[in-house]
Amino acid sequence: MNGRVTLLGAGPGDPELLTLIGKRRLHEADVVLYDRLIDPSLLAFTSDKASLVDVGKLPEHHKVKQSQINQLLVDYARDGKNVVRLKAGDPYVFGRGGEEAQVLEQQGVVFEVVPGITSAIAGLAAGGIPITHRDYASSFHIITGHHKKDGQKELDWGNIAHQEGTLVFLMGMAQLPTICRELVAHGKEKATPVAVIQWATQWRQKMVTGDLATINDLVARHHISSPALIAVGDVVKLSAQLNVSRPLQGVHVLLPYSKRQRLFNQLVDRGATADFYQRTAKQALTADLTVVDQAPVLLVDSIAAYQQFVNQLVNTGKDLRALTGKKIIALNQVVARHLATAGLIADGVLAEVNLPTDYVELGGEKPLTTGGHFLPLYQKAPHPRQLPFDLAEFNAVVFPSTDSLNDFVLALDDSQRAQLAGLKAFTMGPTISAAATKLGFQEVIDCRSEIKETVKAIEEEFRRD
């Protein structure tokens, strides 16, 4: 059976700048081949079953050769796989997407190209630079700075230097001195504004602005290197006015638990980058549901337990009507609210009722009460796959529960544990704070149990004034 290859544009860096079809293709993929420009959190859109292949190449040090990448694409597709070749920006703007497509066509592999937002345009915007502007530039030119290698043609500097529009060089950092020299030698003013933007749209974005005479020194002084965009032209002047900085820009927060979308959204809307780090997964256990038949009262420990219970009920050919006449008690108000969303109004919460002796507790790993009949419905297992995050790249981590903290720290190796001290831990309650201190976090900030409080605390800690 033949598979298919999608040459997929990942956008400029910020994972939220992926297209809708891009997100769907990642979810459908059996295999994803990605490289070093890709933000690893994009891989969170893949299914747990997908294999992730890092074909990342460093500029002078090709990890996987282009010919090998081409071969992998063909082989996986012939093996019947749904393959995504995840490429930075737009697949057809440099980065050899056109060559990959040609190979696929020649080999008779079904393929498609899904566009992405190119860094050449969006990366400038992330530095407050509109690539065109009525007063400054009526065209733009996207140029490779990597011209001498790979048999590419020499650049026609005379032609380039005479363009009035914005010049954007990609893959140009190694050639920056040459680019500036040639542009000046062919007639551009030394005072022509230049911006260099590294890791545009990502938490690690860095930018300097200067002109054709000064930019080399500035780049060296600010330690800016590849991958970066070099923008040349009067539009660069606008960055002083249009480069709006957001309070949490550059802050990289780790959320080591499954989706808490509200906290994620609030952090991201303030300019932070937040990544989920899923340490454990819930594995369903097959429970003997016959004990439920006779029980007048069910205590529900968590919405996860309830969902597993309903799944099993349905699998045995029954449904919620099997609960008719039984009292449903929720562990607490949070669980009660979740149950209501799932269509079940609890008759009370544990703290406010007296349980009879013959109740059944629907739970996870261990019973939270003594006395009743405990029905374990799931257990925690290591998450089937971890995304390639580097702990050293985060500033902060948020723990909403002691469980999230324990699961996370337990799963780390020794060198990762040593990195914990460098992460500020924001905990949502005093018990969690105490546990975090005990586990080696040097800076623990207690945010009580509120999302609002947590966002505020992170802002106070990192705000750039």
Closer residue to ligand SAH, CB minimum distance, 109 or 122: 122
- What whole-number distance in Å separates Cα of residue 14 and Cα of residue 276? 14
Closer residue to ligand SAH, CB minimum distance, 12 or 400: 12
Our answer to whether residue 173 is catalytic in this structure is: no
Cβ neighbors of 191 (< 8 A, separation 6 or more) are 211, 212, 213
Closer residue to ligand SAH, CB minimum distance, 227 or 364: 227
User: Which residue number is nearest to ligand SAH in terms of Cβ?
Assistant: 89
Place of tokens 């006449």: 325
Q: Is 52 exposed, middle or buried (0-12, 13-18, 19+ CB in 10 A)?
A: middle
Q: Is 241 exposed, middle or buried (0-12, 13-18, 19+ CB in 10 A)?
A: exposed
Nearest distance from C-beta of residue 63 to ligand SAH, angstroms? 15
Nearest distance from C-beta of residue 227 to ligand SAH, angstroms? 4
Closer residue to ligand SAH, CB minimum distance, 126 or 423: 126
- What whole-number distance in Å separates Cα of residue 85 and Cα of residue 70? 10
Q: What is the CA radius of gyration of the chain?
A: 27
The footprint of ligand SAH (CB under 6 A) covers 12-13, 37, 87-90, 93-95, 118-120, 123, 170-171, 197-202, 226-229
DSSP state of 350: G
Nearest distance from C-beta of residue 1 to ligand SAH, angstroms? 31
Q: Are 425 and 436 in contact (CB under 8 A)?
A: yes
Q: Which of 212, 215, 377 is nearest to 284 (CA)?
A: 377
Nearest distance from C-beta of residue 78 to ligand SAH, angstroms? 26
**The one catalytic residue among 39, 87, 90, 171:** 171
Q: Are 48 and 385 in contact (CB under 8 A)?
A: yes
Q: Give all strands (DSSP E) within 233-296, no chain letters.
A: 252-255, 273-276, 280-284
Closer residue to ligand SAH, CB minimum distance, 202 or 302: 202
**The one catalytic residue among 35, 39, 301, 407:** 35
Q: Is 341 exposed, middle or buried (0-12, 13-18, 19+ CB in 10 A)?
A: exposed
- What whole-number distance in Å separates Cα of residue 96 and Cα of residue 104? 13
Amino acid at 250: G
Which two structure tokens, joined as six digits, stand for 144?
């490779």
Nearest distance from C-beta of residue 167 to ligand SAH, angstroms? 13
Closer residue to ligand SAH, CB minimum distance, 124 or 295: 124
Nearest distance from C-beta of residue 229 to ligand SAH, angstroms? 4
Nearest distance from C-beta of residue 415 to ligand SAH, angstroms? 28
Closer residue to ligand SAH, CB minimum distance, 12 or 193: 12
Phi-psi region of 150 (alpha: psi -120 to 50; beta: other; left: phi over 0): left
**The one catalytic residue among 23, 57, 237, 327:** 57
Cβ neighbors of 334 (< 8 A, separation 6 or more) are none
Our answer to whether residue 35 is catalytic in this structure is: yes
Q: Are 114 and 19 in contact (CB under 8 A)?
A: yes
Measured in whole angstroms, the distance separating CA 452 from the mean position of its chain's CA atoms is 22
Our answer to whether residue 171 is catalytic in this structure is: yes
**Catalytic positions, please?**
35, 57, 171
